[in-house]
Every structure is written in C-alpha cells, then in structure tokens.
Amino acid sequence: MEKNLERDLKFFELFSRLASLTQIVNQPPQIPEIQKLLSEISSMYRLSKGVTHFYRNPGEEERGQGETMVSYDLKLPSHPVHTVRFVTRLMSITTMTVYQADDEPPLDDDELSKVDLTMRTTLAFISRNRLQVIAEQLAFFDDMGFSNIRSFFGYINWHSKPGDLNGMAAINYNIRRFSLINEEFGRDVGDTVLLNHYNMVAGMVGKDGIVSRLGGDTFVCICKKEILPAVLDFLTRAEVGFNSRGDNAVVSCYVGAFIIPDGFIAYSPNDIMVKIMSAFQLAKQGSSGNIVYYYDAMVTDREHVKRVQQQFPDALAKGEFHVFYQPKVNTVTGEICGGEALCRWFRHGKIVPPGDFIPILEETSDICRLDFFVLDTVCRNIRRWLDEGRKVVRISVNLSRRHMVNERLLETILEIIERNNVPHKYIEIELTETTTDVEFKDLQRVVCGLQEANICTSVDDFGMGYSSLNLIRVIPWNVLKVDRSFLPLDDEDSTSIRSIMFRHVVAMTKEMGLECIVEGVETEAQLRVLRDNNCEQAQGFLFDKPLPIEEFEKRLDMKKYDIGL
C-alpha cells in the first residue's frame, strides 16, 4: 500500500510536468524533456515500448502510410497491451500503442488508467504538433513542393535590418514558352522539368539565399552576388534532364535582376518585388535582351507605362491617334513610289512620338487595336484617293510582332481591306524580324498567307538587331527595308566595312528578286550611294519627314522630287 502511494505521488509529479510541457504554445516543443518523462513513466509501469503513428487522413491510416515515431523501446520480446486513437476535427489520426515485455506481469486497472491518461495527453500534443508542421508546410510550400511567395516574403522580412542584404542580388524569372515543353513532352514531363530546373537553381543558390515560385513557371530568387553570373548563365540556357535515359529539354528564361546595394533596407518585401518585376517586364517584352537589370528610373517608367495603358482606349475612341505618311521615292526618277503609315498621338496639344507609346502598347495586345486602326485609316484614305481620281501609291503599314500569335490575323487584315474596297496591290505590311524559332514559324505562316492574298510584305529594319539570313531565305518577302545603320556615313569611303556590307546587302536583295528600299536617307551623298548601287527606292528626311495627310496629298499631286538629276 505504502509503495503504491509512493508510486502514485511520483506518477502525478511526472504527469503534471508532462502536462505542462505538452501545453506550451508559441514556443518550440521541448521534445527531449517530454521523451525523458515518458521513459520514466513507462519504466514505472513495466512498459517495454511505446509507438506512435500519425496519419493525415483516414485513407493514409487504412493504407498504413503514416509517420511512425518510437518514443521508448527496451528492445525486448513484447506484446501490445493498450492502444489509444485520437481523431481531430481535420480528420488527422494519431494512435499510440504501448507494449509489455512477454515475461512481465500484466497491468492492473489502476495502472492501466494512469498509462491511458499519459497516452491521451501525449497524443493530443503530438497531434497538435504534427498539424502545426503540416500547416507550416502548407503555408510555405505549394502543392508541388516549391517554396512559395510567403517563404520569399518571410526571407526578406527576416533580413530587414540595414546590411542584412549586403552582397546579395534578387531576380525574377520566367521560363520562355514553357507551354511548348508541356505540348511537346506532356504535362508530367513538364512538371519534372520545372522541378528539376528549380532544384538546380536552388542547388546553386544554397543556404545563403532562396528560390520561390510565384506561380506557374515564374520564380523569384535571392542569391549571393558572386554566384549571380553563374545563375544567369544557367537561366539563359540550360539542358534539363527529365528521365534516366538522359533525355533533356532546353530551358531558357527571361530575367529581371536587381543587384542589392550595400546598406539597402527592405522596409517591406515589396521594395524588392517592385524592382525585380519592373526589370522582368522589360526583359519579357524582348526589346532589351533576355536579362534586364533594374535601374532607378524604372519604377517611374512603370508608372508612365500604367498611365499610357490606362489612357489608350479612351484616346483611341476620342480620335487622338493620327496617321502620318512618309513618302518613298524612286532614286532614279525622283517620283513618289510609295508611303509608310506612321502613327502619332496628339495629347493635350502635343505630339507624342511612337517611341514613347508603341513599346508600351506592345506589352499588351493594345498594339493590335492600334495597328488595325492605322490599317483601317490607310484603307479609307486610299479609297478616297481612288474615288477622287488622284495618283495612288502603295502604302505600307507596320504590324507589331504581337500579332503573330493571333490565329485570325490574316482574316482580320483582309476583312479591313475588303470592307474599304481597296485593291490589294495598294497595301504593304511591314514586319520586323523575330528572335525565337517559334515566332519564326508564326511569321512564316503570316507572310505566306499574305502572299497568297496578293498583299505585299516587307522586312522592316533589316540589319538592326537580330537579322538572320535565314529569315530572308526561308520566308517569301517582297521587299527588304534596309535599316539606316547599314547606310554609309557621308565621310565614309567605299572601302569601309559599312560600305562593303551595304553594297552586298543591296546586291543580294536584288539577286533574290526582292525590292530594296533604304530607310533614313538624309543626305545627297547617301542618295548617290544608293543610286550607285542600283537601289531604286529611298525613304528619309532628305525628301520628307512623316507628314500629316494633307501634306502627303500635296506630295502625291506633285510630279516628282527634285533630286538633283
């Protein structure tokens, strides 16, 4: 009796410590202490082993797939003597079974009730603790196991003191045309490629930084400045394996990067997000390369971008966009042989040049609406000129690369031309070169379609940026517009590289049976170079700047330009 009382006192002492330790919230659980108390209680009640299982749901329990934790084990031949099962409202299940060594006397009712009490208290704790870990996982990782935006923000919040982010860089990247990988290899492979690519970046970044998924195929990352070149190199082009046979997919990304200056303080994660996202937007747009570094004016630039995008629909409806025409001139006869339609925005009494709004409209599909508006205006004017019995020349209209993905592009162009009852020969469509294979295919499709409809097509700005000879070999253009960067300067002689290239480009164009026009002709000497090389068409300030329609009509009525013949 005496002995039992002593043991009961001891039990209640141990149990009350266990109860208080397992009730603590908002602090990391003191697992070793808890385990020590459980061992003591177990040995008091002649238990040889205690095993706990945690199942997230009844299905896992049925399949026996939960996590197993052994809290106490004397490693003796044993048999189970008592099991407790605890089900939460979230349907997670925790079970605990205690064992006795085969040669121990069994527990009496009183002993069993104390063991049971201990087990229930412990189970409630384990269940809560496991659920907390799971909740954290759900909060900081997405369903594919990628660290998510909350983790990324958490990282920045943890590094919010001055100097915390010294020597670090932040990037925002997106996989180019990831949908193509899905289409070509299937979604499962796509998922594997995404995960492997992520793991490779995370491996490079290591513990000093973080890589998180914003969603889809867009990621953000903070890493040490020293490894940024290697990371960017990887992001520019990586071969990512997706099976054990060694097959791989080539993955390249658009990247916006921000080198965090020493002493930078992120008062909120947004201070970093705004910067990498602004740079990223520019990268995605494509005109500034695949990697764009953040610079200070970028955020104000973004505000300007937003303003233009907001004002556009209203401005279009109010007729603020006007079409100007720049004449194209025959270099031999001086006659006007065509015109290019160029857009101008009349805003609060000022003319906004296309460079200030076209690239912004190109970020969305707004540019397509504008281009169709320009085409429609041009068609209406040509119809009127024809009706008035005026001289009519072929007018070229610029179409942004943004249109290329539009499956209905061709139909829309034809619809506009036909609605205005304009003979196809008076319309020319100018397109610029493309940067990727996919766009190349789209471009090919569009140009061939226009050809079939007897609508002239030209490569604009040939020689600027990414020109490839492939572009003119494979796609059946009618006209090649040589960019002014090819045009020899006045003081250059005929042996300069530029002069040699110019000669060859013009000769090649003619030999391929294409019309050749040179843009940006500003001086008499340049005009002479064109003539010497049998290039028959020129466009440039030497003749006229882009003109309002009334002025252009005067040029149409004029017999020819005086080109000093």
Chain positions contacting ligand C2E, by CB under 6 A = 326, 342-343, 353-355, 358, 367, 371, 374, 398-400, 430, 460-461, 519-522, 539-541, 546
DSSP 25: -
Smaller CB separation from Mg ion, 433 or 460: 460
Report the nearest approach of Mg ion to the CB of residue 466 (Å).
Answer: 14
Q: Indicate whether 433 belongs to the interface with Mg ion (CB under 5 A).
A: no
Do 22 and 30 contact (CB within 8 A), yes or no? no
Q: Of 110-118, 275-283, 329-337, 457-465, which part binds Mg ion (CB under 5 A)?
A: 457-465
Tokens 């808890």 sit at which residue?
34
**Residues forming beta bridges with residue 84, ordered by sequence position:** 96
Report the nearest approach of ligand C2E to the CB of residue 521 (Å).
Answer: 6
How far, CA to CA in Å, does 1 sit from each of 7, 62, 113? 10, 44, 18
Report the nearest approach of ligand C2E to the CB of residue 543 (Å).
Answer: 8
Closest to 290 in 3D by CA, of 280, 299, 298: 280
Q: Of 50-58, 182-190, 246-254, 430-438, which part binds Mg ion (CB under 5 A)?
A: 430-438
Instruction: Please give the Cα distance from 526 to 538 (Å, whole number).
Output: 10
Do 197 and 167 contact (CB within 8 A), yes or no? no
Choosing from 362, 460, 515, 544, the residue that interacts with Mg ion (CB under 5 A) is 460
Residues 464-523 that bind Mg ion (CB under 5 A): 519
Smaller CB separation from ligand C2E, 115 or 342: 342
Smaller CB separation from ligand C2E, 127 or 326: 326
How far, CA to CA in Å, does 362 sit from each of 121, 305, 307, 359? 64, 11, 14, 5
Residues 370-409 that bind Mg ion (CB under 5 A): 398
For residue 530 the two structure tokens come to 């064109």
Query: How do the residues of the chain divide into helix, strand and coil, expressed in percent and rounded to 5?
Result: 45, 25, 30
Choosing from 461, 515, 536, 553, the residue that interacts with Mg ion (CB under 5 A) is 461
Report the nearest approach of Mg ion to the CB of residue 475 (Å).
Answer: 17
Smaller CB separation from ligand C2E, 256 or 540: 540
Smaller CB separation from Mg ion, 371 or 442: 371
414: helix, strand or coil: helix
Report the nearest approach of ligand C2E to the CB of residue 471 (Å).
Answer: 16
Report the nearest approach of Mg ion to the CB of residue 464 (Å).
Answer: 8
Smaller CB separation from ligand C2E, 335 or 522: 522
118: helix, strand or coil: helix
Report the nearest approach of Mg ion to the CB of residue 430 (Å).
Answer: 4
269: helix, strand or coil: coil
Smaller CB separation from ligand C2E, 98 or 487: 487
Smaller CB separation from ligand C2E, 170 or 374: 374
**What does the chain come to in residues?**
565
| Angle (deg, nearest 10), helices 366-387 and 409-419 | 30
Instruction: Please give the Cα distance from 142 to 534 (Å, whole number).
Output: 64
Q: Indicate whether 430 belongs to the interface with Mg ion (CB under 5 A).
A: yes
**Residues forming beta bridges with residue 59, ordered by sequence position:** none
Instruction: Please give the Cα distance from 517 to 482 (Å, whole number).
Output: 6
Instruction: Please give the Cα distance from 337 to 328 (Å, whole number).
Output: 6
For residue 501 the two structure tokens come to 């290239």
Q: State the DSSP H helix or E strand holding residue 234, giving kind and residue range, or none if neither.
A: helix 228-236
How many whole angstroms from its chain centre is CA 506?
Answer: 39
Contact map string, positions 58 to 87, toward Mg ion, x by CB under 5 A: ------------------------------
541 contact, one of ligand C2E, Mg ion, none, CB 5-8 Å limit per kind: ligand C2E
For residue 425, give every residue at least 6 positions away whose Cβ sits within 8 Å of its Cβ, in sequence order, or none.
394, 454, 456
Instruction: Please give the Cα distance from 428 to 457 (Å, whole number).
Output: 5
Smaller CB separation from ligand C2E, 236 or 523: 523
Smaller CB separation from ligand C2E, 334 or 546: 546
520 contact, one of ligand C2E, Mg ion, none, CB 5-8 Å limit per kind: ligand C2E
Give the burial string for 360-371 (b: 16+ CB within 10 Å, else e). Answer: bbbbeebbbebb
Number of chain positions touching Mg ion (CB under 5 A): 5
For residue 278 the two structure tokens come to 């602004």
CB closest to ligand C2E, residue no: 540
Report the nearest approach of ligand C2E to the CB of residue 516 (Å).
Answer: 15
Smaller CB separation from ligand C2E, 282 or 487: 487
94 contact, one of Mg ion, ligand C2E, none, CB 5-8 Å limit per kind: none
Report the nearest approach of ligand C2E to the CB of residue 399 (Å).
Answer: 6
353 contact, one of ligand C2E, Mg ion, none, CB 5-8 Å limit per kind: ligand C2E
174 contact, one of Mg ion, ligand C2E, none, CB 5-8 Å limit per kind: none
Do 267 and 164 contact (CB within 8 A), yes or no? no
Which residues would be at the binding site for Mg ion (CB under 5 A)?
398, 430, 460-461, 519
